[in-house]
Amino acid sequence: MDQTSRLLLVLGVITLATILGLIWRTTQGRAKQLKSGLQVDLKELGATKNGLPVTAFGERITFLQFSSEFCATCKSTARVFGELEEHSSDVLHIEVDITNRLDLANKYNILQTPTTLVLDKRGVVQSRIGGAPKQNTLEEQLGTFVI
């Protein structure tokens, strides 16, 4: 194969990867409204916080974050939610490692981690955020739950 064709093919692969990356980036960290009305079962979730089982939802909003073992962005995502929680007492952040909880992964159809479900005060799923949430996504979500 001549040199020009080879260079063009390599450039083509680079372009393809760039397009894929740009598309992927726009899908990440945005909230998608869910109308399923799925009620989260805290018992089934078996989540703990500071060593204690979680028995109640946030008074205004709960961010239910699903993480896994090989997830690089889960930790920073948890930190962002942790800061939100510190600033407002009616916000709750729950993190569940679903590496060995495929039942939960299947039930909530989790394909990537972190995936965050946004719950209202009754624990009904309102929206889902795939990937590390963008700052304006969080502000929007908090804004829709103002009492």
Interface residue list for other proteins (CB under 8 A): 1, 5-7, 9-10, 13-14, 16-18, 20-21, 24-25, 68-76, 79, 98-99, 102, 105-106, 110-114, 131
- Closer residue to other proteins, CB minimum distance, 72 or 146: 72
Task: Measure the CA–CA gap between 27 and 29, rounded to whole angstroms.
Answer: 7
Find the shortest distance in angstroms from Cβ 5 to other proteins: 8
Task: Measure the CA–CA gap between 20 and 118, rounded to whole angstroms.
Answer: 27
The region that residue 58 occupies, defined by phi over 0 for left and psi between -120 and 50 for alpha, beta otherwise, is: beta
- Closer residue to other proteins, CB minimum distance, 57 or 66: 66
Q: What three-state secondary structure class fits 93?
A: strand
The number of CA neighbours under 13 Å toward the Cβ of 113 is 22
- Closer residue to other proteins, CB minimum distance, 20 or 56: 20
- Closer residue to other proteins, CB minimum distance, 69 or 139: 69
The number of CA neighbours under 13 Å toward the Cβ of 59 is 5
Find the shortest distance in angstroms from Cβ 72 to other proteins: 4
Find the shortest distance in angstroms from Cβ 118 to other proteins: 19
